[in-house]
């Protein structure tokens, strides 16, 4: 029986040759024109002039002249709201949006309902997701005691909240220290939402600038310093850094991530509560400094923190509206647009959105490599379109990037199976759980 059949999709392995594409892989001569051969679910070979002696018989061909071929993107920070909050999003809807933006692997955050704080909940969530994801997926768990760490060892990685945010999963410094210690013993990655509540300012902000002042930049830098002091041998990754001050506090050996909204939106935008997020959008100057750090490679990964809330919730009074923005479908399109505008190198883009997150998570994804899963994105970098809520298909029905320009993939493959064609998602349920490479 073929591996594809074992995967439940009933498709025989077949060889596909992608011809004359611009291959986007930093490790293998980025931007070189070449061919790529997949065999069933895997990349079998690639390089310039691969078929100079002819194409093996029985191989299907895809002409990629003038198109880019990138590894499928890995979004290591998404909130798909399933179970418990499915009026905002669910696994089928969120992963469909991921696919149309070129994301072939997501890692889902634990602040669903019930929260993923016990082994039983983690197992339930895994069962619930099976067969309903359009892309491959991992699951975060949130250990809230030292003992919970080993209970939750089957999670892809751990999430710790150092401050209140949607879901109320924050833990105190003592518990955090114990969780970090236990995670280090297991060799597990800990992703931190780093804001220090003691540095928050009281009041009920009514604007984006006010929200930024109430959860100031110093609160991030301070939380990151505490993590540095507590981390011991733990592998720590800081989610959504928003400013140069936070980056300056990051200790050697700790990795970082940035969101598209902190890179491209700021408190100057007329978004009202639709721009309310934790940590907050910052000033245009802060955003520019963050962009420079990202473009220069001083931030490891880009992840969306896709955190949808309904329109009704976001239309509430500013101080009562929940924090969080959707972004899973627009990250690659928006950033590719920046590459076209020569504000970012393609190499940095693929590194930050595919190779580095896969490496940080320890999963065999995010590279064009012989033997890797044939998760591939085909994109015509010249096809710039306007982003609209309709195009991205979130269940919540809105995007903070409405009207901005993006470059969407035309075709997306997940282990060799076409899941997006002409920019439209065409396959549901092909996603599988990711496996970690054990250190």
Task: State the residues that interact with Zn ion by CB under 5 A.
Answer: 305
Question: Of 68 and 277, which CB lies nearer to Zn ion in the complex structure?
Answer: 277
CB of 305 vs ligand NCD, minimal distance in Å = 5
SS3 call for 306: strand
What does 277 interact with, of ligand NCD, Zn ion, none (CB < 5 to 8 A by kind)? ligand NCD
State how beta strands 411-414 and 405-406 pair: unpaired
Choosing among Zn ion, ligand NCD, none, which partner's interface includes residue 245 (Cβ < 5 to 8 Å by kind)?
none
Using CA atoms, how far apart are residues 219 and 374, in angstroms rounded to an integer?
42
Alpha helices in 160-264 (DSSP H): 173-186, 208-214, 217-230, 244-248, 260-264
DSSP 330-349: THHHHHHHHHHTTSS-HHHH
Does position 307 interact with ligand NCD (CB under 6 A)? The reply is: yes
Taking the CB of residue 305, how many other CB atoms lie within 10 A of it? 27
Residues between 358 and 377 with contacts to ligand NCD, criterion CB under 6 A: none
Cβ closer to ligand NCD: 190 or 420?
Answer: 190
DSSP secondary structure code for residue 281 in this structure = P
Does 324 bind ligand NCD (CB under 6 A)? Our answer is yes
List C-alpha distances in Å: 417 to 97, 367, 380, 433. Answer: 17, 17, 20, 16
Q: Of these, 219, 323, 338, 411, which contacts ligand NCD (CB under 6 A)?
A: 323
Residue that the structure tokens 């002819």 belong to: 54
375 binds, among Zn ion, ligand NCD, none (CB under 5 to 8 A by kind): none
Q: Hey, which residues between 105 and 164 contact ligand NCD (CB under 6 A)?
A: 111
Which two structure tokens, joined as six digits, stand for 204? 């009920």
The answer to whether residue 331 forms part of the interface with ligand NCD (CB under 6 A) is no
Min dist CB 6 to Zn ion, Å, is: 34
Q: Which residues are catalytic?
A: 305
Binding positions for ligand NCD, 168-187, rule CB under 6 A:
none
How far is Cα 424 from Cα 97, in angstroms, rounded to an integer?
A: 10
Nearest approach, Cβ of 106 to Zn ion (angstroms)?
12
Closest approach of Cβ 161 to Zn ion, in Å? 9
277 near ligand NCD, judged by CB under 6 A: yes
Residue 256, contacted partner among ligand NCD, Zn ion, none, CB below 5-8 A by kind: none
- Token duo for residue 128: 């619930």
DSSP 152-172: TTTSSEEEEESS--TT--B--
Q: Residue 182 or 277: which CB sits closer to Zn ion? A: 277
Whose Cβ is closer to ligand NCD: residue 276's or residue 337's?
A: 276
At 55, list the tokens. Answer: 């194409």
Q: Is 314 in the site for ligand NCD (CB under 6 A)?
A: no
Could you give the angle at the alpha carbon of 218 between the alpha carbons of 319 and 262, nearest 5°? 65
Per CB under 6 A, residues contacting ligand NCD are 79, 111, 165-167, 193, 277-278, 305, 307, 323-324
């Amino acid at each position: 029986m073929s591996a594809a059949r074992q995967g439940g999709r009933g498709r025989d392995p077949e060889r596909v040759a992608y011809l004359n594409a611009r291959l986007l892989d930093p490790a293998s001569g980025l931007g070189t024109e070449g061919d790529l051969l997949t065999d069933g679910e895997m990349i079998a070979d690639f390089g310039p002039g691969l078929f100079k002696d002819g194409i093996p018989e029985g191989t299907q061909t895809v002409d990629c002249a003038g198109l880019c071929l990138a590894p499928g993107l890995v979004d290591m920070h998404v909130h798909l709201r399933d179970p418990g909050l499915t009026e905002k999003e669910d696994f089928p809807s969120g992963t469909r949006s991921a696919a149309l933006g070129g994301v072939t692997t997501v890692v889902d955050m634990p602040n669903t309902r019930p929260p993923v704080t016990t082994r039983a909940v983690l197992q339930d969530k895994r069962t619930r997701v099976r067969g309903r994801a359009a892309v491959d997926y991992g699951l975060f768990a949130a250990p809230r005691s030292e003992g919970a760490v080993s209970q939750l060892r089957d999670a892809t990685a751990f999430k710790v909240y150092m401050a209140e945010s949607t879901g109320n999963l924050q833990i105190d410094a003592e518990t955090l220290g114990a969780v970090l210690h236990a995670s280090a013993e297991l060799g597990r990655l800990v992703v931190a939402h780093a804001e220090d509540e003691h540095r928050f300012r009281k009041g009920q902000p009514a604007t984006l600038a006010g929200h930024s002042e109430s959860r100031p930049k110093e609160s991030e830098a301070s939380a990151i310093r505490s993590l540095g002091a507590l981390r011991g041998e733990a592998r720590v990754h800081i989610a959504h850094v928003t400013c140069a001050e936070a980056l300056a506090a990051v200790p050697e050996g700790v990795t970082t991530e940035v969101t598209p909204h902190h890179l491209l939106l700021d408190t100057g935008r007329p978004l009202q509560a639709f721009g309310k997020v934790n940590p907050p959008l910052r000033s245009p100057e802060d955003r520019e400094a963050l962009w420079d750090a990202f473009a220069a490679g001083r931030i490891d990964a880009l992840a969306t923190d896709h955190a949808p809330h309904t329109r009704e919730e976001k239309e509430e009074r500013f101080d009562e509206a929940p924090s969080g923005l959707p972004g899973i479908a627009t990250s690659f399109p928006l950033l590719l647009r920046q590459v076209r505008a020569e504000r970012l190198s393609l190499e940095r883009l693929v590194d930050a959105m595919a190779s580095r997150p896969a490496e940080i998570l320890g999963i065999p994804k995010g590279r064009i490599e012989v033997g890797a899963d044939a998760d591939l994105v085909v994109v015509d970098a010249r096809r710039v379109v306007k982003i609209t809520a309709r195009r991205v298909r979130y269940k919540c029905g809105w995007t903070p990037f409405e009207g901005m320009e993006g470059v969407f993939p035309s075709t997306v493959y997940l282990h060799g199976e076409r899941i997006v064609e002409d920019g439209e998602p065409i396959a549901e349920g092909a996603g599988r759980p990711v496996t970690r490479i054990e250190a």
